[in-house]
Amino acid sequence: MATSALLLPLDQPSPQALRAAAARRIWSKLWPPLLLSVAVIALWEIAVIVFGVSSFIIAKPSDIATTLFTSSEMLLEATWITTQEVLWGFLISIIVGIAIALVVVRYAWIERAVYPLIVLFQVVPKVALAPIFILWFGYSMTPKLVLIVVMAFFPITINMVLGLKRTDDDLILLMRSVGSTRNQIMTRVQVPNSLPYLFTGMRIAITLAVIGAVVAEFAGSQNGLGYLIQFASTQLDTALMFAALIVVSLLGLAFYYLVGLAEYLASKRFPHITIDER
């Protein structure tokens, strides 16, 4: 009887206890940035009042909050336009980045010919490319998408190439020993192995996509958050300018965590994907 008692399973925590533990983990990650943000905002407000800084130079957080409320309709309209540009540009960047990575790894001569040019192209200042793309494609969404793709595809390509090349050599030799072709090895072994690297590149690319959309709107646009920031600066409306900057930042943060959610969902299908819990 004593032996059988020792073999009884330990009590499992209740669902309520698991939810409470999860809530504590989430709160432990949220309170430091929230506390720092509140402290910075409070010091900002006090400094502007105490030193008598002009509202044309820097607006008080309270004025920015008021502008966020009073200009919410205009900000929402601009946000929707920029969101569409970022989404389409990011999706195209994923397709282009993955395609280049697969071709570069599959054909060594293409890597030797194209890879240095890709790296060299990234050195070109992207702000200088925006007016050229507008000259070529006009004031439609096309030049904005082109600039986003030019900025965002590179980290996807670089990271996926790294993941494709870091496949276990013994596993590749095993696949060859059973008669697998190079294409089969790539699709069944190398591509699944590269997924963690791909999502790392996508996290970087989505932030660059937001930056690319705003830069393109600076160069030539009549709508979007970038245009709104530029318009506010010409009107010396610092509160509106900061309000639009806050919306851009929140938009980029939301997209970043959406990519993290996609990585989490993909890990359910491919358990070997390592999730970044930061």
Q: Determine whether 123 is exposed, middle or buried from the number of CB atoms within 10 Å of its CB (0-12, 13-18, 19+).
A: exposed
Q: How many CB atoms lie within 10 A of CB 107?
A: 13
* pTM for the model: 0.81
pLDDT of the residue at 18? 66
Q: How confident is the model over 109-135, as a mean pLDDT?
A: 81
Q: How confident is the model over 187-193, as a mean pLDDT?
A: 80
Q: How confident is the model over 42-71, as a mean pLDDT?
A: 84
- How many residues are present in the chain? 278
Indicate the pLDDT class of residue 272, thresholds 50, 70 and 90.
low
**Proportion of the chain above pLDDT 70, given as a percent:** 90
What is the residue-averaged pLDDT of the chain? 83
At 139, list the tokens: 């004031």
pLDDT tens track for 21-30: 667 777 777 7
For residue 208, give the nearest of 273, 139, 122 by alpha carbon. Answer: 122
175 touches 189 (CB < 8 A): yes
Indicate the pLDDT class of residue 55, thresholds 50, 70 and 90.
confident
Q: What angle do CA 245, 250, 255 make, to 5 degrees?
A: 125
- Assign 7 to helix, strand or coil: coil
pLDDT of the residue at 89? 94
For residue 182, give the nearest of 194, 172, 168, 192 by alpha carbon. Answer: 172
Q: How confident is the model over 248-261, as a mean pLDDT?
A: 92
Task: List all residues 6 or more positions away from 47 whose beta carbon is below 8 Å from its beta carbon.
Answer: 53
- d(C-alpha 219, C-alpha 252), whole Å: 20
Residue 125 exposure: Cα atoms within 13 Å on the Cβ side = 4
**Structural Rg of the chain based on CA atoms:** 25
